[in-house]
Amino acid sequence: MATHPYISGPGNVAQMVTQLRKSFPSTIGSETVKKLGIAPNNESYVINVLQYVGVIDSEGKKTPGAANAFSHHKDEDFAKEFASLVQKAYSSLFELHGNDAWNLDSDELITFFRQSDQTSATIGSRQAGTFKVLAGLSGHGDVPEPKTKKSTKNAATPKSTKPKESKNTQSSIQPGESSSLSGRQKHIEGHGFGLTVRVEINLPADGTKETYDNIFKSIKENLLGG
């Protein structure tokens, strides 16, 4: 059974301690952590860490040691007092390694916790991560930055579909250059589509009646289906 505390997201402990430095409730429990939105579904683990290092007692009340530490405004003053709480809580680790315990790497810490508590590699890793966060709050190492909520992406704007344009086919008969005459239009309706044909006729200025008859006859036979 693990005697040293652990949590899957040790950064939540740092976030809770930072919050308590701003405002320390008279009583702290899992419900308090939940209302703060810290460590969802892991609130009890945060409480366990706070109790282990002597920030709160078994009833969730602030301890005298915590009152002394959390009354400091300057980070360096807080870290010094908080380090005393951590060092007292992890007395066996500091008895073995002295002040070097603050700077042990993850593998060395995991080895210590697994040997002390006979825990699995996963639990030992979480115990080591928890201690490193507490060491960071004590001025020995970095403190994880609190996670920020990701902004929701705007839904993609659907692409506008342009209506299909009807096809226009133009046919010009130009026997010669002369004045132009607008021809006829024929609309053919088939299976679900329409086709518009625009015929433009350029008649020769010096053409005879026979020439004009032949032109219109050709149009009727080839274009109008007559």
pLDDT per position as a tens digit, 6-17: 999 999 999 999
Q: Are residues 40 and 86 in the same domain?
A: yes
Q: How confident is the model at residue 28 (pLDDT cuts 50, 70, 90)?
A: very high
Whether residues 73 and 183 share a domain: the answer is no
More confident residue, 197 or 173: 197
pTM: 0.65
State yes or no: pLDDT of 70 exceeds 80: yes
Terminal-residue alpha carbon distance, the chain: 101
Residues 6+ apart with CB under 8 A from 53: 85, 86, 89, 134
19, 63: one domain:
yes
Same domain, 128 and 173: no
57 & 129 share domain: yes
Instruction: For residues 133 and 75, state if they share a domain.
Output: yes
Q: Which is more confidently placed, 19 or 145?
A: 19
Q: Which residue has the higher pLDDT, 200 or 125?
A: 125
Which of these ranges, 13-17, 92-96, 188-192, has the smallest mean pLDDT?
188-192
Alpha helices in the chain (DSSP H): 11-22, 30-35, 43-52, 64-69, 75-89, 91-97, 106-117, 121-137, 209-222
Answer whether residue 40 is part of any domain: yes
Structure-token pair, residue 7? 């949590």
- Confidence class of residue 215 from pLDDT cuts 50, 70 and 90? confident
In a domain, 25, yes or no: yes
- Other C-beta atoms within 10 Å of 182: how many? 9
Residue 163, pLDDT score: 54
Does 131 share its domain with 200?
A: no
Residues 124 and 191 in one domain: no
Helix (H, G, I), strand (E, B) or coil at 73: coil
Number of structural domains found in the chain: 2
Q: Which pLDDT band, with edges at 50, 70 and 90, does 192 fall under? A: low
Q: Which domain holds residue 185?
A: 168-222
pLDDT of res. 165: 52
